[in-house]
Amino acid sequence: MSSLPSNAAGLRTAVFPGSFDPMTTGHESIVRRALPLFDRLVVAIGVNQTKRYMFPLEQRLAWLKETFADEPKVEALSFEGLTADLCGRLGARYIVRGLRNSTDHGAERSIALMNHALRGVETIFLPALPEHAHISSTIVRELLANKADVSAFVPAAVRP
């Protein structure tokens, strides 16, 4: 059976980058569905100094760590700079991204081709499940700002 090639250390490592502000059940689903493909899945919070976030980095990291405490193959960390450079540092040959709709697809395609051009990193896309396709961190933030109940859209660790 053919499988995804591993890196020099013999591990198939992938990076799942995002802002996770906050993490949603859509993010959790992508991680759990991608896991069987890889030996190690690094969920990486990209830090952009010019961007304002609703939740502090430490809080977003803690939510990821708690949610995947049961998955030894999952790590959570934060990084600055290019995702392709993070992949180089980690020995990751794959990036995982979720696609909710054609808007996601249009934007992600260019980024994926650039990461391939920069470092030969392949992007593996997983389609959002129908029950998650309407969930985004942006909408969850909007709901929170208006004191709405978000418990159906975020993992248990994130629930107030």
Which residues of this chain interact with ligand ADP, rule CB under 6 A? Answer: 18-20, 24, 26-27, 30, 97-98, 100, 104, 128, 132, 135-137
What residues have CB less than 8 Å from 57, skipping those under 6 apart? 45, 47, 78
Active site annotation includes 6: no
To ligand ADP, the closest distance from the beta carbon of 140 in angstroms equals 9
Q: Which is nearer to ligand ADP, 20 or 94 (CB)?
A: 20
Residue type, 30: I
Judged by beta carbon, residue 17 or residue 93, the one nearer ligand ADP is 17
CA atoms within 13 A on the CB side of 129: 12
Q: Which of 73, 100, 105, 141 is catalytic?
A: 100
Please report how close the Cβ of residue 2 comes to ligand ADP at its closest, in angstroms: 25
For ligand ADP, give the closer residue by CB, 128 or 150. Answer: 128
* Pairing assessment for the beta strands 94-99 and 13-18 based on DSSP bridges: parallel
Please, what is the minimum distance in Å from the beta carbon of residue 39 to ligand ADP? Answer: 21
Distance set, CA 131 to CA 30, 77, 79, 147, 160 (Å): 12, 27, 30, 22, 22
